[in-house]
């Protein structure tokens, strides 16, 4: 892949990159559309990165379907699909980590120790191999997107990061490879997450800017789902992800919740 990229760059091609963990859905494929708009050659990677999963998380059972992914990627116009092995991404004796500090202290950070270090490290590696001029990420993992933006800015990486708004199923559920974990009843309860976000967005549009009040409404909606356990529910400054009391700057509502040990996250713009 590195040699291919070098040859593409020498031909003056602009590379657009979509890093994924596979089990592709329309959300991923919409990132391909954006990558193609900003480049000559679209590269997608599929790599279920072990280091961003905690010991009790779903690395082993994370859904995988390489044959289906290949077909979907090709149909959507991906020029090169790269599926590295764990041993290629983590050479024997590897001991180098990329750490983004402040941005990873809150939200998912404390609940998934090491997760963002795993993400930043693997994304740096993917970037070094693919050498793209532009990379496209979904806003669904909003904290991840901001961590990657920060890493790129701080490490002076020669790549532009584009965030793409979350795609949702008709019922409002944010598209996610992990949605296959849900049965019908669970799905109904998980819909409380997107409903809470939409309700807060609507209240803000009507002029309510007090975070305390907005969070109370979100909480009351989430609590209508009896098996849904809130991990966090926060409204933060969009840039530094720090909690705010009043929506007087671009902000974001972020929610993480569990149902029967299955974890879901979602977020929405408040601006």
Taking the CA atoms of residue 143, residue 147, residue 148 and residue 153 in that order, the dihedral angle to the nearest 10 degrees is 140
Is 115 labeled as catalytic in the residue annotation?
no
Burial class (CB in 10 A: 0-12, 13-18, 19+), 136: buried
Residue nearer to a copy of itself on the CB measure, 119 or 257: 119
Could you say whether residue 78 binds a copy of itself (CB under 8 A)? Answer: no
81 has which bridge partners?
A: 44
What distance in Å separates the CA atoms of residue 199 and residue 191, rounded to the nearest whole number?
A: 12
What distance in Å separates the CA atoms of residue 124 and residue 113, rounded to the nearest whole number?
A: 19
What distance in Å separates the CA atoms of residue 192 and residue 125, rounded to the nearest whole number?
A: 36
Could you say whether residue 242 binds a copy of itself (CB under 8 A)? Answer: no
Contacts with a copy of itself by CB under 8 A: the residue count is 35
Task: Tell me which of 44, 89, 119, 200 binds a copy of itself, using CB under 8 A.
Answer: 89
Task: Tell me which of 4, 21, 157, 199 binds a copy of itself, using CB under 8 A.
Answer: 157
The stretch near a copy of itself (CB under 8 A) out of 15-23, 59-67, 126-134, 138-146 is: 126-134
Q: Cα dihedral sign for 151, 154, 157, 158?
A: positive
The least distance separating a copy of itself from the CB of residue 109, rounded to whole angstroms, comes to: 13
> What length does the chain have?
271
Could you say whether residue 206 binds a copy of itself (CB under 8 A)? Answer: no
The stretch near a copy of itself (CB under 8 A) out of 62-70, 152-160, 186-194, 196-204 is: 152-160
The least distance separating a copy of itself from the CB of residue 44, rounded to whole angstroms, comes to: 17
Task: Tell me which of 124, 204, 253, 265 binds a copy of itself, using CB under 8 A.
Answer: 124
Contact 106, 69 (CB under 8 A): no
Binding-site ranges for a copy of itself (CB under 8 A): 2, 6, 9-10, 12, 89-91, 93-103, 120-121, 124-125, 128-129, 131, 150-151, 153-158, 240
């Amino acid at each position: 892949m590195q040699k291919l990229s070098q040859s593409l760059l020498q031909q003056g091609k602009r590379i657009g990159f979509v890093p994924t963990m596979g089990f592709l859905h329309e959300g991923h494929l919409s990132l391909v559309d954006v990558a193609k708009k900003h480049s000559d050659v679209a590269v997608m990677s599929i790599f279920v990165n072990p280091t961003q999963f905690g010991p009790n998380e779903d690395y082993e059972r994370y859904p995988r379907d390489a044959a289906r992914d290949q077909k979907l990627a090709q149909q959507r116009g991906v020029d090169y699909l790269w599926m590295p092995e764990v041993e290629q991404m983590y050479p024997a004796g590897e001991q180098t980590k990329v750490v983004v500090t402040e941005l990873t202290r809150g939200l998912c950070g404390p609940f998934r120790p090491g997760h963002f270090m795993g993400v930043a490290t693997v994304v740096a590696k993917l970037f070094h191999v693919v050498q793209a001029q532009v990379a496209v990420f979904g806003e669904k993992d909003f904290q991840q997107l901001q961590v990657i933006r920060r890493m790129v800015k701080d490490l002076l990486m020669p790549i532009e990061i584009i965030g793409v708004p979350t795609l949702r199923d008709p019922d409002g559920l944010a598209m996610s490879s992990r949605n296959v974990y849900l049965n019908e009843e669970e799905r109904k309860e998980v819909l409380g997450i997107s409903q809470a976000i939409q309700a807060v967005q609507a209240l803000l549009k009507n002029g309510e800017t007090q975070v305390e009040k907005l969070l109370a409404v979100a909480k009351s909606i989430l609590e209508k789902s009896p098996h849904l356990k809130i991990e966090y529910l926060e409204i933060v400054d969009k840039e530094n992800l720090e909690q705010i009391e009043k929506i007087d700057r671009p902000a974001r509502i972020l929610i993480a919740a569990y149902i029967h040990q299955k974890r879901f996250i979602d977020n929405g713009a408040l601006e």
